[in-house]
Amino acid sequence: MATKTAYRSRSQGNYITPNTAEGKKILNYLKNRCEKALDYCLENGLTSVEDFADAIEELTEADGKPGISVEVKHNGLVLSLSDRPEYGSTTGKYMMEHLGEPDDNRFTKTGIEALLDSPRTKTRSKKDDLLDELDDEQPSPKSKSQAASKSKKDDLLDELEDDEPSSKSKSKAVSKSKKNDLLDELEDDEQSHRANLKPIPNRKKLK
């Protein structure tokens, strides 16, 4: 199919599927980050698919979670773990299909555009424009994004190394520990997302 062809060259045929425990956790993690980015875009009046893709990457980095790479293709979005490309990639549509979600078009380009072009988004955008004009009369606070962000790779490695037993020095043990820590982190994010899915307050708009 066209969509599979679009990302076959990038991941060399390595697709994320729910056939393994790792694959299912990664798919759930990607979906949860997509939902959070969608809420952020709706709350802040962002209306393009590119804004949505940026929101996934930047909010994930700011939250200190395993980094996500998002590519906007003509036929959809391609999602993968930026620091663990060996796990493969998926599209917004296949991600939802694999997870058995009823609305498998929610995170396609068409689905995202429809959601972000809703009357709710337009109304909120006008309100935000007014607030922005009022804010222009006051000194703008410094952005916290630089202080909160580190390189995605370093963040992931630091988190994994913090949980490694210092007595384990063999490469196989370290590799297994890192893999398990990453999967635990994805699972923790999924549980946190279900318990408290809220837009990020007072975060600088993406542009």
Model pLDDT for residues 165-185, shown as the tens digit of each residue:
444 444 454 455 666 777 777
Q: Is residue 143 included in any domain, yes or no?
A: no
Distance CA 11, CA 6 (A): 10
Q: Is residue 154 included in any domain, yes or no?
A: yes
Q: Is residue 11 included in any domain, yes or no?
A: yes
What is the domain extent for residue 64? Answer: 2-130+149-195
Q: Is residue 202 included in any domain, yes or no?
A: no
Q: Is residue 138 included in any domain, yes or no?
A: no
Distance CA 85, CA 69 (A): 9
Both tokens of 28, joined, read 């759930």
Distance CA 138, CA 132 (A): 10
Q: Is residue 51 included in any domain, yes or no?
A: yes
Model pLDDT for residues 83-111, shown as the tens digit of each residue:
999 999 999 999 999 999 999 999 999 99
Distance CA 197, CA 195 (A): 7
* pTM more than 0.75: no
How many structural domains does the chain have?
1
Q: Which residue type does 55 have?
A: A
Q: Is residue 119 included in any domain, yes or no?
A: yes
